[in-house]
């Protein structure tokens, strides 16, 4: 087991995804490198998320310097691991190419939380997009460039 990402390979053990379910996803860059402090890298990741709209509808996201929070809903007949392999694989490849580097971009695994239909989605989206405020990166969310929510 890799000591820098303890238990990351176990994050999905025993879980099954459900098409049309809403998930709150968190994934972290390898060694928590603050790659997304470079706005170009963050925009590239956002572009990849938007390309996934055929498989997963983006409800809200925030790209932090070293990780992503993504509130999304799977489309019919789509599984979460398919979407995450695509997002992490494509974004990692493209960002590595942009930065003229190679090697693993994302930590292995990701954290997911399935939301029940009774969960307050707007409150979850607010929590997601308020991350830069809680982290002290900005004083006003409008000053942070790498977030969006469908409720705007």
How do residues 64-120 score in pLDDT, each as one tens digit? 999 999 999 999 999 999 999 999 999 999 999 999 999 999 999 999 999 987 678
H or E segment at 129?
helix 121-129
In a domain, 11, yes or no: no
In a domain, 38, yes or no: yes
CATH number of the domain at 109, please: 3.30.70.1290
| Rounded mean pLDDT, 136-145 | 96
Instruction: Determine the pLDDT at residue 8.
Output: 45
In a domain, 1, yes or no: no
**Is the per-residue pLDDT at 14 higher than 80?**
no
| Rounded mean pLDDT, 37-46 | 97
In a domain, 8, yes or no: no
In a domain, 13, yes or no: no
- Confidence (pTM): 0.88
Residue numbers of the domain that contains 76: 18-149
In a domain, 24, yes or no: yes
In a domain, 4, yes or no: no
**What pLDDT, in 10s, does the model give residues 52-64?**
999 999 999 999 9
In a domain, 30, yes or no: yes
Q: Which residues contact 69 (CB under 8 A, 6 or more apart)?
A: 24, 25, 26, 61, 62, 128, 131
């Amino acid at each position: 087991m890799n000591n820098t990402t303890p238990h990351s390979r176990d994050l999905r053990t025993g879980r099954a995804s459900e098409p049309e379910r809403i998930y709150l996803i968190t994934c972290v860059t390898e060694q928590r490198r603050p790659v997304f402090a470079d706005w170009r890298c963050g925009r590239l990741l956002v572009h990849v998320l938007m390309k996934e709209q055929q498989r997963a509808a983006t409800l809200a996201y925030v790209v932090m310097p070293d990780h992503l929070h993504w509130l999304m809903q799977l489309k019919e007949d789509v599984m979460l691991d398919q979407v995450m392999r695509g997002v992490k694989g494509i974004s990692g490849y493209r960002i590595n190419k942009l930065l003229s580097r190679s090697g693993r971009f994302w930590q292995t695994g990701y954290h997911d939380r399935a939301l029940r239909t009774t969960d307050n989605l707007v409150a979850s989206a607010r929590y997601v997009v308020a991350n830069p405020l809680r982290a002290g990166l900005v004083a006003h969310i409008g000053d942070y460039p790498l977030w969006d929510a469908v409720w705007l």
